[in-house]
A and B are shown apart, each in its own frame.
Chain A
Amino acid sequence: MNRNGNECVRESLGDYVLVRVRGEVDLSWSQQVRRAILDALGETGKVGVDLSEVSYIDSSGIAALVEGFQNARGKGQQFGLVAVSGAVLAVLRLARLDRVFPLFPDVESARAG
């Protein structure tokens, strides 16, 4: 965790990898989020991104999520967003992506697909 409270950690739950993102996702570190998601997809076929602790996300953060989703779909992998916070959902709606991503209320339902 950096001094701003921004954090991106990888959590393995068997064959499922959950990327937990915290803080305000903006241009200053969205590349780290992007890298974490792409790395997780390189490791396993089932990836979720937990966004419950994200209080802000900008277009570069959204772009990282879109890239992960497109990569996974290209390889037939499973990719979903978990426990999306209100702040993130508002931006997903604005980008008209709220119906593109598979959204799950919690990690259990995400793992079940």
Chain B
Amino acid sequence: MNAAPPNAAFAGERRALGFLAELSRGLALSLDLDQTLRLAVTRIAEFMQAEAASLFLIDPASGLLECRNCAGPVDIAGLKLAVGQGVVGRCVAENATQIVRDARSDARVNARVDAETGFVTRSILCAPLATAQGAIGALEVINRRDGGLFDEADAELLGLIAAPAALAIHNAQLAAGLLEQQRIKRELALARRMQKSLLPRRRRGDFPLLGVNLPAHEISGDFYDYFDRADGRLGFVIGDVSGKGLDAAFLMVRVGSLLRSAGKHAASPARWLAEVNAELCGLLTDGRFVCAAVGMYDRAGGRVGVASAGFPPALLHDGARFEELAATGPPLGILAEADYAEHELELGARALYLFSDGATDVRAAAADRLGSQGLRELIARHAALAPEPRLRALLGELKRLRLVDDTTLLLLQEPAGSAAQTLLDLVFPARAEQMRTVRAALRAALDAEEVAPELRDRLVLAVDEACTNIIRHAYCGGEGETIALHLAREQDMLVFELRDSAPPVDPGKLKPRDLAECRPGGLGLPFIDALMDEWQVSPAADGKGNVLCMRKRLVVGEHE
């Protein structure tokens, strides 16, 4: 080994490298960055042989630089500076190291601390904590202990130290930000779930109200509700709380329950709104208000009453024309003495659409807003669909357009033909001689439904085969028995029901044979099987006899 003896500069570099390695390791492994930084600042002051050292970071909330840690005779922790102000502020603003050789004559130096503390600042060195996004703070050292002035070599050394510190602090800030974001996201998702759970359950089957809520963000200020009233009427409500985000969502929860409880006992939609308005006027003091429309629907009488507190106009559509039902009073929570009127009308087969302004605020590609006219066009385009697929189609269209506000839709319409419509009801003696008359009646009933002749004949054949099977096999040709035929239509479904009072038939024994075999008997069941979409035999509900139910869906333009 022929190593040269270490000279002074080399020893300085070795010392710097050792310190940097230790500092970096400490920062990288730190579990508590504040504590690690506190120690680091003291170590930096020692290493730089400075009387004081301090670490400033930009507070994201205020945008000010704040002294987070310091070492030295004067505790300036918590000291706040504007970016650009003083040596530290300028260092951050310019993202460049500042050297103050003579503090007393340098305009950058803020003399206030010295004046307040009696500390005498002679020389300052300040290096930015630089990241790819700019400086996030600065590292400052004051007064060389040897009484000398900081020079370029000192500046270079402090710059070296600032780099890993900046990296560690920045990483820690990003990680904390990420955690915070995840926490907020989790909480918003939870709030959304809670909010959704407050919306009424979708009712299956023959129910005239359908609602949907599409929040523009995780949570919504919109709501809708429907419920049964003690007087037999259905109460329904749709609302929009002013403002966005968590505040609006919490208010929505409160207003929603207020509206529901008032809606259960209020005598009319107008009284309903008046009561909630009076309550909200005492509750809302911060300029918030609520737009809502409420209604009561008497299914048996087919009449609906609607009152609206500043809610966008309801649309009444008869399939061809629209009628607008304007608001009948101001939004809730503004005027305690507000009076509300109401619309009272015969619903009939018409559809009543209530939609929050999110629906009309949806941005159409280049146009400004979709607007009421745009919404009417959307509704008209899908008017032929049954309520449920129609609402789905409307939503699909609104989603394709850009959602800028919460969107909520409530649709009131009696489902057409949901109550099965009876086409034929016949009870006849279980005798083969009767079948001619039965077939004629069935043909006439199917003709009245405009079933195509080919399909009509096939359906008649299937029913005939089913009846002759009952006559021959269930009743075994016995006299004095009857068969009841019930034909109903449920939208595009024809339902044929045959009841007998014969001993129970074992459905497991009813297996249609393969039509490919050529033999004389047993063709009836295969015919039924081929002609109907589905069929099944079950014991009658009263335990007497069997019920054969056969279904056939009518398809427009049905061909063989």
Contact = CB atoms under 8 A, between A and B. Distances in A.
A21 interface: no
Contacts of A64: 520
Interface in B428-475: 431-433, 435-436, 439, 454, 457-458, 460-461, 464-465, 468, 471-472
Interface in A42-64: 56, 58-60, 62-64
Given A26-B464, A28-B433, A28-B436, A90 B521 contact: no
B478 to A, nearest CB: 15
A70 interface: yes
B559 interface: no
Contact of B519 (A60, A66, A91, A96): A66
Nearest to B471: A27
Closest 4 CB pairs of A and B: A59-B523, A28-B432, A63-B520, A27-B432
B26 interface: no
B435 A26 contact: yes
Nearest to A59: B523
Interface string A1-26: 00010000000000000000000101
B518 A59 contact: no
A27 B530 contact: no
Given A66-B518, A70-B520, 18 more contacts: A26-B432, A26-B439, A26-B464, A27-B468, A27-B472, A56-B439, A56-B460, A58-B461, A60-B468, A62-B523, A87-B457, A90-B458, A94-B461, A94-B515, A95-B515, A95-B523, A95-B526, A97-B518
B523 A90 contact: no
Given A27-B471, A90-B454, A94-B527, A58 B515 contact: no
B534 to A, nearest CB: 18
A111 B482 CA distance: 46
A58 B458 contact: no
A27 B524 CA distance: 11
Contact of A90 (B457, B464, B520): B457
Contacts, number: 66
B516 interface: yes
A97 to B, nearest CB: 7
B315 interface: no
A67 interface: yes
A42 to B, nearest CB: 17
B531 interface: yes
The CB with the most chain A CB atoms within 10 A, among B454, B464, B515, B520, is that of: B520
A71 to B, nearest CB: 10
Contacts of B439: 24, 26, 56
6 contacts: A4-B436, A24-B436, A26-B468, A63-B520, A94-B527, A96-B515
A100 interface: yes
A56 B458 CA distance: 10
A94 B518 contact: no
Interface of A: 4, 24, 26-28, 56, 58-60, 62-64, 66-67, 70, 87, 90-91, 94-97, 100
B468 A58 contact: yes
A66 B519 CA distance: 6
A45 to B, nearest CB: 21
A94 B531 contact: yes
Given A60-B468, A66-B519, A28 B530 contact: no
A60 B465 CA distance: 9
A91 B458 CA distance: 8
A59 B436 contact: no
Interface string B419-432: 00000000000011
Nearest to A6: B436
Nearest to B530: A94
A72 B465 CA distance: 27
Nearest to B465: A59
Contacts of A95: 515, 523, 526-527
Contacts of A60: 468
A62 B521 CA distance: 9
A4 B471 CA distance: 20
B293 to A, nearest CB: 56
Contacts of B454: 90
A56 B432 CA distance: 14
A63 B523 CA distance: 8
A95 B524 CA distance: 10
Contacts of B519: 66, 70
B457 A58 contact: no
A91 B515 contact: no
A64 B520 CA distance: 7
A96 B517 CA distance: 9
Contacts of A70: 518-520
Contacts of A62: 520, 523
Nearest to B460: A56
Contacts of A96: 515-516
B440 to A, nearest CB: 9
Contacts of A59: 465, 468, 523-524, 527
Nearest to B517: A96
A25 B464 CA distance: 11
Contacts of B458: 90, 94
Contacts of B431: 28
A27 B433 CA distance: 8
Contacts of B515: 94-96
Contacts of B521: 63
B458 to A, nearest CB: 7
Contact of B436 (A26, A90, A97): A26
B156 to A, nearest CB: 98
The CB with the most chain B CB atoms within 10 A, among A67, A70, A95, is that of: A95
Contacts of B465: 58-59
A105 to B, nearest CB: 21
B435 A28 contact: yes
A39 to B, nearest CB: 17
